[in-house]
Structure 1
Amino acid sequence: MIRLHAIVEGPTEKAFVDRVLGPYLASYDVFADARCVLTGRDSRTGRPFRGGMTNYLKIKTDIETWMKEDRSADCRFTTMFDLYGLPTDFPGYDLAVGRTPYAKIEFLEVAFGRDFQEEGRNSFLPYLQLHEFEALVLAEPEALAQEYLEYRKPIKNIVAMVGDQNPELIDDGYETAPSRRILKEIPAYDKVTSGVQIVSAIGLEKLRRRCLHFSQWISRLEGLNE
């Protein structure tokens, strides 16, 4: 049995791990839980603030804290952060500029993992989402109708926009990131509730066929007991 701790960017990714990824991995004897990255604390009450990525130091500190809390041999750690909006002080950030998307994501993940391996940890499997969570929604944009039936014409526009494109390669510009493309057509889109529900309805099998990097991550997690 493997216990997998996922440090994630926000409530959308946490819901994905809790409701979609975790139940799937359980059949591989991998039991996942997730928490949003710690970004600060209330100065008066000490209450933690979680979610979002303001800088890399906060990400690293939170991961290290969880690693110190659970040093068991059957424990592994992974992440789910968007490439879009990644902090500029992230390991390898400057050297990754100008690379193709898949080369860039591989370079960043290697640099991210190395930052922990240098301290003798081999239980860390970093994952960055190309380019953000909504790439998974765009793997089958027709599924948006399950939550937004009244937006039939806008959904058709999204389907036409995606066409035969690889959803992981739909770019990460401020106005053209996957989530903003969806919000442009469906202003009511809610990523935490509807986004995760839509991804669940699409199913991991189809997501993996359409999203290569995502599929490679799932394969690594499936094999943790091997």
Structure 2
Amino acid sequence: MVEGQTEEAFLNEVMVQPYAAHGIFLTPIIISTSPGYKGGLTSYSKVKPQIDKLCKQDEGAFVTTFFDFYALPKDFPGQNSIAPHTPALAKVLHLEQHFAAAIGHANFIPNLVLHEFEALLLTDINAFADWTDNDVVLEPLRKIRVTHEPEDINDGVQTAPSKRIIAAMPRYQKTVHGPLIASTIGLDAIRAACPHFHRWLLELEALCPF
């Protein structure tokens, strides 16, 4: 289950084919927010019934999530029990643990992206070069990558990965450029630079060992 079209396209373009070759068949499903509308994780109370339904309709399949940690709804399981000054990775692991317990199905694998989908794109700043006429605009992104790994780039309102990308490239369109840039980078490079993302893939791969 994914938040929107960007994540759906990323899975379809970057992950579906290589995993199918090893017997793992991924089907991205966008969250329903209201009748006739899809996309956006606005509240846990809306998404829980959808996950429950998926887990129950085929107990031979596994249900997992591709949700951003950034701007996660306040009613998400575990939000109220995070200690002050907890490191981001520890927060995500804490939330994933509570998420799994709240859903309560053996065929559910929780996953939150640190901090959001765009963090994966910061694996390789050179992949943005095809989408700008002046590479100088990419210098702020190169600078932050010198001191931070992609998943460590924070969740501030103006400093989250997507905010940094838009500041450097105002014409960046998440649904258009995001999956294409990810395809340019490649799955192997992304998982090498993003340990938490890599950990999720290992969980998926364990379902049908390569």
Task: Tell me if both proteins adopt one fold, taking TM over 0.5 as the criterion.
Answer: yes
Q: Are the counterparts in 1 of residues 55 and 107 from structure 2 also a CA contact under 8 Å?
A: no
Q: Are the counterparts in 2 of residues 151 and 186 from structure 1 also a CA contact under 8 Å?
A: no
Counterpart CA distance in 2 for 1:164 and 1:218 is: 25
Counterpart CA distance in 2 for 1:159 and 1:205 is: 20
Find the counterpart in structure 2 of residue 86 from structure 1.
72
Residue in structure 2 matching 1:56, options 29, 34, 44? 44
Counterpart CA distance in 2 for 1:96 and 1:212 is: 22
Counterpart CA distance in 1 for 2:92 and 2:18 is: 25
Find the counterpart in structure 1 of residue 123 from structure 2.
139
Letter in 2 for 1:221: L
Q: Deviations over 1:7-44 (max 9, x none)?
A: 01111111111111111211221000111111111xxx
Letter in 2 for 1:9: E
Letter in 2 for 1:113: A
Q: Could you say which structure has the higher strand fraction?
A: 1
Report how far residue 116 of structure 1 moved. Answer: 1.9
Aligned length: 208
Find the counterpart in structure 1 of residue 195 from structure 2.
212
Residue in structure 2 matching 1:113, options 89, 100, 113? 100
Is the partner of 1:122 in helix, strand or coil? coil
Counterpart CA distance in 1 for 2:163 and 2:134 is: 16
Q: Are the counterparts in 2 of residues 25 and 221 from structure 1 also a CA contact under 8 Å?
A: no
Relative to structure 2, which stretch is displaced further, 157-166 or 136-145?
157-166
Name which structure has the greater RCO, CA cutoff 8 Å, separation 6+: 2
Matches within 5 A, 1:184-223: 184-223=167-206
Report how far residue 156 of structure 1 moved. Answer: 2.5
Report how far residue 176 of structure 1 moved. Answer: 0.7
- In 2 relative to 1, CA 22–97 (structure 1 residues): closer, same or farther, beyond 3 Å? farther
TM-score by length of 2: 0.94
- In 2 relative to 1, CA 178–97 (structure 1 residues): closer, same or farther, beyond 3 Å? farther
Counterpart CA distance in 1 for 2:41 and 2:174 is: 17
- In 2 relative to 1, CA 97–171 (structure 1 residues): closer, same or farther, beyond 3 Å? farther
Counterpart CA distance in 1 for 2:155 and 2:134 is: 24
Percent identity, aligned pairs only, is 37
Residue in structure 1 matching 2:63, options 52, 66, 77? 77
Matches within 5 A, 1:161-176: 161-176=144-159
Q: Are the counterparts in 1 of residues 55 and 108 from structure 2 also a CA contact under 8 Å?
A: no
Q: Does 1:27 align with 2:18?
A: no
TM-score by length of 1: 0.88
Q: Are the counterparts in 2 of residues 37 and 50 from structure 1 also a CA contact under 8 Å?
A: yes
